[in-house]
Amino acid sequence: MFDNGGRSDNGSFCALYVILLAGYISPSVICNHWVIHEWEELPKRCPYCAETIQDDAQLCPHCSTNLAAPSAAPANSPSVNGYVRTSGKAVASLICGVFFFVLPSAIVAVVLGHLSLSDIRRSVGRLGGRGLAITGLVFGYLGLSVLPVLIIAAIAIPNLLRAKIAANEASALGAVRTVSAACLAYAAQYKSFPLALSDLGPGAQPSARSADLVPDGVASGHKSGYVLTYEPGSDADGIG
């Protein structure tokens, strides 16, 4: 048992309750007073563009919206949500624009870029991402400008390769005909066919080892990327 010094338990309990109640109410009142005071000091803002306006303004000087009209503020207003939402179309336009070298990406980047800019203009400040949309448009139009060059190159390069192959084949066939005619001339002059293709090539003095009947390139066995092979017949007896 505790000695209460002649005071009643009910009086002690009431005193303790008053102290606790005062300790709870005083901070609450002070905090509420501070919040109300701070709220009263905040400037009035337009519910549509979130710009500062006068308290008695009937028309917003920034977005020219009639504030006296009985219309609610937009649900996505920056003054309501506290932040500006980035346009998803602007982000998609930038991503597609980065991959402009892929055929459909440049077209998609341009379309989404224009759509996002239109949405941002109509949102009166509720949507952001204008820079992303413009960057996507730049990459998209860059891809569209390069696209015709890529199409022309895709068509022209195979044709050029085929033309070069045909020219090399014609040059190699011409070299074969030259070697055939040179062998006949060699046989008529030296009474036998050459033992090797190099015997038809040029030299200091025309002889059976260097008849000077074909150019040096053909005599080495190479012409326009093709390898020429010469094998004498079984009746060739060398130098006659």
pLDDT by residue (tens digit) across 180-217? 999 999 989 888 889 888 888 888 788 888 888 998 88
In angstroms, what CA-CA distances link 22 with 29, 35, 61? Answer: 10, 20, 48
Instruction: Report the alpha-carbon distance of residue 48 to residue 124 in Å, rounded.
Output: 7
Given a cut of 60, whether residue 21 has pLDDT beyond it is no
Mean pLDDT calculated for residue range 95-119:
89
Specify the range with the lowest mean pLDDT, choosing from 56-60, 114-118, 212-216, 222-226: 56-60
**Mean pLDDT, the chain, whole residue set:** 75
Once rounded to an integer, what is the mean pLDDT over residues 219-239?
A: 76
- The string of pLDDT tens digits covering residues 113-127 is 999 999 888 887 788
- pLDDT value at position 27? 36
**In percent, how much of the chain has pLDDT > 70?**
69
- pLDDT at residue 224, as a whole number: 86
pTM higher than the cut 0.75: no
Q: How far apart are CA 83 and CA 206, in angstroms?
A: 94
Closest by CA to 230, choosing from 190, 186, 189, is: 186
Secondary structure of 58-75 in HEC code, one letter for each residue: CECCCCCCECCCCCCCCC
Considering only CA atoms, which of 161, 181, 180 is closest in space to residue 225? 161
